[in-house]
Amino acid sequence: MFGNFDFQAIVRGWHALIFEGLAFTLEVTFLAMIGGTILGTVFAMMRLSSTKPLAWFAGAYVNLLRSVPLVMVIFWFYFMAPYIGAWIIGAERPVQVGAFASALITFILFEACYYCEIMRAGIQSIPAGQANAGYALGFSYWQLMRLVILPQAFRNMLPVLLTQTIVLFQDVSLVYIISLPDFVTIASKIAQRDNRLVEMYLFVAVVYFALCLALSYVVRRLRARLTIIR
Amino acid sequence: MEKDEKTGEKAPPMILLDKVGKFYGNFRVLSECSTQVAKGEVVVVCGPSGSGKSTLIKCVNGLEPFQEGEILVNGVSVGAASTDLPKLRSHVGMVFQNFELFPHMTILENLTIAQTKVIKRDKAEAEQRAAELLHRVGLHIHATRYPGQLSGGQQQRVAIARALAMDPICMLFDEPTSALDPEMISEVLDVMTELAQDGMTMMCVTHEMGFAKRVAHRVAFIDQGQIVEDVSKDEFFDHPRSERAAQFLSRILHH
């Protein structure tokens, strides 16, 4: 069966696959991880806030977005963003958001929900005594969060945050539906052009597998190291 | 006492509790708790577990809100909405049962972080003050270690040094030896004794009656959220007036 395989398509498309497709995927993954973690941490603090409207808003946001399939969020956001943008700045015509920005914002907003729940667990795992000790020294809420609680929460949750990032890395492939030039989209274009679908998708799967496996290995190592310190 | 609020430092007691009451929902935790700690005085607060003594001491620097009465620290009302609590707390040292050192920072960083971030000392000055205090509690060789690498007794001494680094006007101790192994209790009590002898104003929640006998000026006995007895040390140990205090003493001193 493998006798008919022609992996020349991969060799020919090598440059575009790696330096355009995979690079795009990794770039979106990386930036969405950073943005999602920051936004998620803000949401986590809001959810744990004693100010009811803040907690309610963050809770509603997280629960809403987690109940909608990511494909739908990408789809909706891609088409709605220009109009929402126009509405926010009060422009007459839809704002040109651009494919990359649209995808990035979507993933940040979506992944923030998951990062939020992770950071919330992380913050709650820090004993209340730590907050008391910080306050007793005269820290404000923001100083307490920045200097005492979040560094510990972040450190404790780093393995889980990275595991979520592996999921995000795979999720980025869903931009296929809006034809953004990610790894899968470029691979599929080359595959259709050269009529080598099986080989190309096999290649894509192997690359995803290898990268995810490597990353989860890193997570395992990290988990072992962090538990010793704590 | 309200009149002294404006003039601040002239208020005679360093810590004044006036009919403090606190609820958790409908459950009353503290009722009509009144006592005071003069400048340079050491007051030990004791009582059975669940009597509200930890809650009471946490009210003093506003870590626990209270609904009734008033607490003045150096003339500043703790409960008033206009009070700058972080500023007030930065002058009031507190030591906790579980040490609560920051595990992600070295011992030195634990001692300097609040100095640089809260009272804006420059780094060199803060580190010098930290080094002095680590020397004083005998732990300067551990400055670059992390709290997890120290024993409980050592951690609690670091916690005391951390509070002292802010040059507090008074110190609150919330069962500082309750989480320690027996052989480590004395090293912490020694530091506290030395501190008391240096004239620090101290309010200590503790079960260490030996420490109370040695350094306390007064003892406040609290039971079921009420200060049942608030007398001089000798009077408390020799002639406890209330039956509950007598019972408590006979139980705690027997072993």
Percentage of chain B exceeding pLDDT 70: 95
Q: Domain range spanning residue A168?
A: 7-229
Which positions ≥6 away from A114 have C-beta within 8 Å?
Answer: A36, A40, A66, A164, A167
Which chain A residue lies closest to B105 (C-alpha atoms)? A148
If pLDDT is split at 50, 70 and 90, which confidence band does B255 have?
A: low
Structural domain includes residue A113:
yes
Region B134-154: mean pLDDT is 94
What pLDDT was estimated at residue B33? 94
Q: CA-CA distance, A72 to B255, in Å (whole number)? A: 70
If pLDDT is split at 50, 70 and 90, which confidence band does B4 have?
A: very low
Are B211 and B226 within 8 A, CB to CB?
Answer: no
**Is residue B233 within 8 angstroms of chain A, CB to CB?**
no
What is the overall mean pLDDT for chain B? 91
Q: CA-CA distance, B141 to A42, in Å (whole number)? A: 39
Number of domains in chain A: 1
What pLDDT was estimated at residue B242? 87
What pLDDT was estimated at residue A100? 83
- Identify the residue whose tokens are 């989480």: B179
pTM for the complete prediction? 0.88
Residues of B with Cβ-Cβ distance to A229 under 8 angstroms: 146, 148
- Return the structure tokens found at B99: 């040490």
Structural domain includes residue A1:
no
What residues in chain A have per-residue pLDDT under 50? Answer: 228, 230
Structural domain includes residue A205:
yes
Report which of B226, B245, B246 is spatially closest to residue B50, judged by C-alpha positions.
B226
Domain at A98, CATH number = 1.10.3720.10
Are B109 and B126 within 8 A, CB to CB?
Answer: no
- A138, B100: Cβ pair inside 8 Å? no
Q: Which amino acid is at A6?
A: D
What pLDDT was estimated at residue B1? 41
**Is residue A69 within 8 angstroms of chain B, CB to CB?**
no
**Is residue B92 within 8 angstroms of chain A, CB to CB?**
yes
What pLDDT was estimated at residue B223? 92
Structural domain includes residue A2:
no
Region B58-69: mean pLDDT is 94
Q: Which amino acid is at B214?
A: R
Q: CA-CA distance, B71 to A148, in Å (whole number)? A: 28
Question: What residues 119-158 of chain B have any CB closer than 8 A to a CB of chain A?
Answer: 119, 146, 148
Residue B180 has pLDDT above 90, yes or no: yes
H/E stretch holding B252: helix B243-253
Residue B10 has pLDDT above 80, yes or no: no
Region B71-77: mean pLDDT is 94
What pLDDT was estimated at residue B254? 66
If pLDDT is split at 50, 70 and 90, which confidence band does B2 have?
A: very low
Kindly state the DSSP code that residue B242 receives in the 8-state scheme: S
Structural domain includes residue A187:
yes
Structural domain includes residue A158:
yes
Q: CA-CA distance, B89 to B184, in Å (whole number)? A: 28
Question: What residues 71-90 of chain B have any CB closer than 8 A to a CB of chain A?
Answer: 85-87, 89-90
Structural domain includes residue A166:
yes
Q: Rank A85-94, B106-115, B234-243 by mean pLDDT and report only the highest.
A: B106-115
Structural domain includes residue A98:
yes
